[in-house]
Structure 1
Amino acid sequence: MTSTSTMKKTFSLSSCDWIGFDLDHTLIRYRLLELHTLIYESLCQYLVDTHEYNSELLNIPYDNYFGVKALIYDSLYGNLIQLDSNGLVHTALHGVNTRLSSEKIKEIYPHTLEDIEEDTSKRFICIFTYFEHSVSYLIANIIDLIDKENLYEKSSKNQINLIKKYSFFLINLYNGFDYLFNDFQRGNYFASIRKNPNKFIYKRLDVRQWLEKLKESNKKLFLATNSRFDYTNLLTTYAFGNDWQNLFDFIIVDCKKPSFFNNTNKQPFHRFIDDKNIIPVTIDEIIKDFKQNYIYSLGNSNDLHLIMSQISNKDPIVMYFGDHIKSDINALKRHTNWLAGVIIEELEYDSPPTIIHTMTHHVSNQLSTNDQSYIKGNRSKYFSSFFTSPSDSIIFDNDNINETKFEQTEPDAVLPCLSSYWYTYITKHAHLSLSCLSVLANLLIKLKDEEKKDKKRSPFLPWTKAFSKWKRPINPNSIPSLTSSNFDSCSIKSCQISSFNTLSR
């Protein structure tokens, strides 16, 4: 339960010395319908051309109303599943249209899957990112073809592996992703974005202005992305301009998250020359050449923190924004003392639940884009919201979520909605959640008139005095959250702040 003293504390970017960003779905915002369709069609074409899958796949158009973020594929039974906050399966779909009854779900999944993100059996595949999003619909169609014994072309000698009936094809999907994303000069994906970037990504001039204001306020900014330089350069040049590198004090490409954040990782940084020419460099060399604006690759967060410490002449407070639930948020929480900001684009059009006596959410459910195809195209007709789950339990005067039960007799019965598993997971690992960086950039524009009245106000965020006396070392139990009163005064659009009591390392 959140204490009164906790609720009086506030969170502030102004106390951060270094602010870092992921590239895809963080600094770069995609037109998701076009992105999902491109990846779906490219994978279908690869499977048909390379592995002789039934060409019927090419005639099934992508359904953007099918999936939601963070679906889980059970490769033993061939089901796409969703979990409630306890880790119990509440929705399961086999193929495109076969929805499992509540009785069948309880039979197959009688226990919680609360540690599913740590699963090492490879039975469960978590579909976390927007790059993988369309795969849920592709998998559902593949399952239907397997059940019809019609996965391959009639002329093909390939056969369905009945022992691994619902998992054998996954290697083909992995190889498809490798083919599409691991060579900038190969495949339909990169070629399509090179030809028409405007079709797939947004300009980010508002975010550029915000980044410039951060730098003017003596914040050090860094980019750490798994994308390689050629793709990074393509996206950022379009979104931010040809001089995009000047926006950052340190740029790391191909950094291999989540292992980048692992405190046992000793991978050295390399100075990037080109894709075939990278040079290992020491920490001292990086610090010496800091103002040369070199591009780096690989490396690890421990060395990066040492570099930041020497440049700042103190142990810096660092915040990193990313979108990946595991590679960004979980890895940061587990291995670093950095603050974690997560981009959840679903906040653009959907609201998390407020769970009484368990956690407090601060949400303003307003839109920051007028792209109606984007807005409408992210609501599933098959699965629950990313944030909520229909539940057979409800919370009363204590935190025992299972104290009172309501019998659910039909899959579509209307019952109280509670937080989903992954949303609960995020509130435990992230310090700040928002729909996109434009939320903060647009706030800057709105504050300009107020700044004229208050010369002491920071030019990039309204809650500026929150951490003015906060020093290292960080005590995880002292990390504050935004108060509801501060939230209202900030008028932040589509922004969620996790509560203090969920932030324990």
Structure 2
Amino acid sequence: MLISKSVLLSQVQNKSCGQFSCQVRSLFLCVAATFEYTNNNKHNINFIRQYHSLRSNLANNNTARLATTPNASYANRNYSRFSANTILTGTAMMKLTDYDCIGFDLDNTLLRYKLTEMVELEYRVLSHFLIDVKGYPSKYLERPMVENIDFLQKGLIIDFARGNILKIAYDGYISKACHGTRQLTDDEIVDIYGKDRSWQVTSDFCKNLLEAWHGPLADDMRTLLDYFDMPASLVFARIVDTLDDANGNRPLPKYNIWPDILDGLGEIFTWEHFENDRSKYFASVKSDPGKYIHRSSDALKKWLTELRKHKTIFLLTGSHVDFASFTSSYAFGKDWRNYFDVIVCYAKKPGFFTKDRAFLRSHDTEETNEEIDPSKLKLGDVYTQGNWNGLMQCLAQKSKTTTPKVLYVGDNLIQDVYSPNEYSKADTIALAEEMMAEGMTGRASEHKDKRLLTSPLWGTYFLASNDEPTIWLEIIRKHAKLCVPNLDFIAAHPIDQEFKIFTQKMCTNGFYPNEPLCFTK
């Protein structure tokens, strides 16, 4: 007997399908596509037979897996974020030309770094600061970063007091954890964080992401959001190992390491240290920019030039104007400012989207103390600090629209994706180089820094254990329209190119050019 489309869809969309892993997605999509484009039942029947067979096999496999999982609390978590009932629907699209104004972050967005070289430099400078200035033993800190390169991943969370590093799911559930550099077993995670593998701090963080930025949660945890603070996880872990060794290979009751690491990050990235070369990180980049920074492609430059002919383009970066000018001049050329109508540096995101800081005028590569009324902002000038509402006043003048429709593009998921979308209602595009490093469907992994960006220890950046979305994937699909490995993938197309986007019903469609391989394994 042939099964009707409505019956099949009702079975696929039934919540009981939520337990199935990503393996069924491609088949479900094939079934949906078949129904969408043909009414030929003879053509459909093969897909339907495969559907029933796979559905039965997966159900049996899932039952067996649950029965043999040692930690019941770990196995019995129910989830349906990426089950068939969230994907078998229509397709929504977007075009850049739908927007009046388009803004870009700079670092790791318009400007790409040679990540392995950059992260190694950051690790080396930070560890030497902690040895030379803070007095930590060099036993572990001086070891090459590459010895523990599997330990590194963007998006890890540090539990200051316990000396632990965590990977969490969308709701704060702790899927993996390490004490120092030693991976904790499932039973150890339960012993520390309870049978629900939940820490109130991370659970609260998932409910309000800015609480860990400047709220009370910042006293207990740190999220390592991008490639600038990524090596701090290994520095922290190696110091924990050092202290445990000195304590007879036993954990301390409490660790107080993070304030020293924070001082080290300040020493590296404080903007005044760029000009006076106090920061060995800045000094190294200045002396040999080609070692750490990619030149921008001609295709990206032409695309930006064409985009500016039709739209108002702005640069909104957290980098100070002197560092932004130096790196942009190397990547784009001395005329880098000509790609933008408005440039705002040292924007202090995410506060730029939530606070009312004054704009300050910039003179050449220096910030002045002269405050500028938002209504007096001029196109073509460079400003520092400021706020979103003031910037919108300026952009409205250029776009000749009282409420311009704005798109913002960036890599930092809290600063550049969550905050502008949640608090300023701008649409966003997220960048994640992990897509290319881990590989995408139909495309082999081809990232130069694959070894750094793929971790056998932590697993895929996008999924937690049991195929649940990480908090970072949850931000991407909820607050971004699109996610790409880098902007060259978009710049390869005309500015009016249509792209599939994330929606509540289409939770992987927004990955371009293809979804990460982890969704099909």
Q: Provide TM-score, normalisation by structure 2.
A: 0.73
Report the CA distance shift for 1:150/1:188 in structure 2 as closer, same or farther (over 3 A): farther
Q: What is aligned with 1:82?
A: 167
- 1:439 equivalenced with 2:493 (yes/no): no
| 2:185 equivalent to 1:101 | yes
Question: Please, which runs of 5 or more residues in structure 1 have no aligned partner?
Answer: 152-160, 352-362, 392-416, 445-458, 468-476, 497-505
1:245-284 correspondence to structure 2 within 5 Å: 245-262=337-354, 265-273=355-363, 274-275=365-366, 277-284=368-375
SS at match of 1:80: strand
How far, CA to CA, are the matches of 1:280 and 1:428 in structure 2?
A: 36
CA distance in 2, matches of 1:479, 1:210: 30
Q: Contact 1:348–1:494 at 8 Å: present in 2 too? A: no
Q: 1:177 to 1:481 in 2, by over 3 A?
A: same
> Helix, strand or coil for the counterpart of 2:222?
strand
CA deviations over 1:252-282 (Å, ceiling 9, x no partner): 00111111001xx222212101435242112
Which of 450, 458, 473 does residue 423 from structure 1 map onto? Answer: 473
1:55 to 135, 138, 162: 138
Residue 57 of structure 1 deviates from its aligned partner by 4.1
Residue 454 of structure 1 corresponds to none
State how far apart, in whole Å, the 1-side matches of 2:173 and 2:506 are.
29
SS of residue paired to 1:56: helix
Cα deviations across residues 17-75 of structure 1 (Å, max 9, x unaligned)? 11101111111111111011000000011111111111324531103322211111111
8 Å Cα contact 1:33/1:377 also seen in 2: yes
Cα offset, 1:193, TM superposition = 0.6
CA distance in 1, matches of 2:420, 2:106: 16
Residues 1:130 and 2:218 are matched in the alignment = no
CA distance in 2, matches of 1:198, 1:495: 31
Given that residues 9 and 482 in structure 1 are in contact (C-alpha distance below 8 angstroms), is that contact kept between their aligned partners in structure 2? no
Q: Which of 304, 315, 319 is residue 211 of structure 1 equivalent to?
A: 304
What number of residue pairs does the alignment pair up? 408
* CA displacement at 1:419 relative to structure 2: 2.3
**Aligned partner (choices 172, 175, 184) of residue 260 of structure 2:** 172
| In structure 2, C-alpha distance between the alignment counterparts of 1:246 and 1:368, rounded to whole Å | 34
| Residue number among 12, 24, 27 corresponding to 2:110 in the alignment | 27
Distance 1:483 1:71 in 2: 22
Whole-Å separation in 2 of the counterparts to 1:281 and 1:275:
15
Residue 409 of structure 2 is aligned with which of 321, 324, 329? 321
Q: Is the 8 A contact 1:10 1:482 kept in 2?
A: no
> 1:102-501 maps to which residues of 2 (within 5 A)?
102-110=186-194, 111=196, 112=198, 113-116=202-205, 117=209, 118-119=211-212, 120-121=216-217, 122-149=219-246, 165-166=254-255, 168-182=256-270, 183-184=273-274, 185=276, 186-205=278-297, 206-216=299-309, 218-262=310-354, 265-273=355-363, 274-275=365-366, 277-286=368-377, 289-290=378-379, 293-314=380-401, 315-350=403-438, 364=441, 366=443, 371=448, 374-391=449-466, 417-441=467-491, 443-444=492-493, 459-463=494-498, 492-493=512-513
Structure 1 CA distance for aligned equivalents of residues 171 and 353 of structure 2 = 27
Any conservation in 1 of the 2:462–2:473 contact (CA below 8 Å)?
Answer: yes
Residues 411-452 of structure 1: CA deviation (Å, up to 9, x unaligned):
xxxxxx3322321232112221111111112x22xxxxxxxx
Where 1:51 maps in the other structure, the secondary structure is coil
- Sort the Cα spacing of 1:276 and 1:252 in 2 relative to 1 into closer, same or farther, 3 A: closer
Q: Percent identity?
A: 29
Per the TM alignment, residue 341 of structure 1 is displaced from its structure 2 partner at its CA by 1.1
Return the letter of the residue paired with 1:77. R
Partner of 2:38: none
Change (3 A) 1:3 1:28: closer
Read off the aligned partner of 1:114 and give its amino acid letter: S
Mapped to 1, the partners of 2:334 and 2:479 lie a distance apart of: 35
User: How far apart are residue 284 of structure 1 and its match?
Assistant: 3.0
CA distance in 2, matches of 1:440, 1:423: 20
Take 2:505 and 2:405, find their aligned partners in 1: how far apart are those partners? 14
Check conservation: 1:343, 1:434, Cα contact below 8 A. Answer: yes
- C-alpha distance in 2, partners of 1:146/1:482? 43
Question: In the alignment, which of 150, 153, 170 is matched to residue 68 of structure 1?
Answer: 153
Distance, in Å, in 1 between the alignment partners of 2:296 and 2:426 is 25
Q: Distance in 2 between matches of 1:495 and 1:308?
A: 34
Q: Contact (CA 8 Å) 2:103, 2:314: kept in 1 or not?
A: yes
Is 2:127 the counterpart of 1:44? yes
Query: Is the Cα contact below 8 Å between 1:8 and 1:483 reproduced in 2?
Result: no
> Do the aligned residues in 2 keep the contact of 1:46 with 1:176 (CA within 8 Å)?
yes
Q: Greater helix percent: which structure?
A: 2
The one-letter code matched in structure 2 to 1:105 is I
What residue ranges of structure 2 are gaps of 5+ in the alignment? 1-84, 517-521
SS of 1:251's equivalent in the other structure is strand
Shift of 1:307: 1.6
Which residue type is aligned with residue 17 of structure 1? D
- SS at 2:468 equivalent: strand
1:501 maps to which residue? none
Q: Distance in 2 between matches of 1:435 and 1:82?
A: 21
Residue deviations 1:105-141 (CA, integer Å, cap 9, x gap): 1222224343324352422221111111111111110
Q: CA deviation at 1:230?
A: 1.1
2:79 — aligned with what? none
1:261–1:53 Cα change, 3 Å: same
Change (3 A) 1:23 1:207: same
- Residue 27 of structure 2 corresponds to which residue in structure 1? none
